[in-house]
């Protein structure tokens, strides 16, 4: 399914959830579909928040120790960890880019300094 189709599907799921007449079981099912789709398109933070809503609703409906609730808690944690992993990789990448840029600047400064020293030596040799 294309990314555009996924987004349209997310919009339709959200519209269903806005209806006040949606039973709790159906709401959980729709939220689960929404969380899965969000995760599939790479929106891990939103997916994790949606799984958190699912867990709250399942605790009300089934209880905290029910297998469905535990499964949703696991999905929430895994999605959160995936987001943290992406955030960490992104942070490390940006730090590496800053170091790379600083290294390029240092090399350019070193080259400019060598050119100045060479020009100064040449100028002093011409004066003698």
Q: How many domains does the chain have?
A: 1
Question: What local confidence, expressed as pLDDT, does residue 128 receive?
Answer: 65
Are residues 7 and 41 in contact, defined by beta-carbon separation less than 8 angstroms?
yes
pTM: 0.57
How does the average pLDDT of the chain come out, rounded?
Answer: 81
Tens of pLDDT, residue by residue over 4-59, are 777 677 777 777 777 777 788 888 888 888 888 888 888 888 888 888 888 888 88
Tens digits of per-residue pLDDT, 103-119? Answer: 888 888 889 988 888 88
Beta-carbon contacts of 48 under 8 Å, excluding residues fewer than 6 positions away, are: 76, 79, 80, 83
* Residue 44, domain extent: 3-127
> Tokens standing for 105?
């600047």
Per-residue confidence (pLDDT) for residue 118, from 0 to 100: 86
The residue count for the chain: 128
> CA-CA distance, 117 to 119, in Å (whole number)?
5
């Amino acid at each position: 399914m294309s990314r555009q189709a996924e987004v349209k599907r997310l919009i339709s799921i959200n519209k269903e959830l806005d209806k006040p007449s949606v039973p709790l079981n159906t709401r959980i099912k729709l939220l689960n579909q929404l969380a899965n789709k969000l995760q599939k398109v790479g929106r891990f933070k939103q997916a994790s928040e949606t799984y958190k809503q699912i867990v709250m609703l399942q605790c009300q409906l089934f209880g905290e120790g029910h297998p469905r609730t535990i499964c949703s808690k696991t999905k929430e944690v895994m999605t959160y960890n995936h987001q943290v992993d992406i955030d960490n990789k992104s942070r490390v990448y940006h730090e590496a880019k800053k170091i790379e840029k600083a290294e390029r600047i240092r090399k350019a400064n070193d080259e400019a300094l060598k050119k100045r020293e060479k020009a100064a030596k040449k100028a002093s040799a011409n004066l003698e």
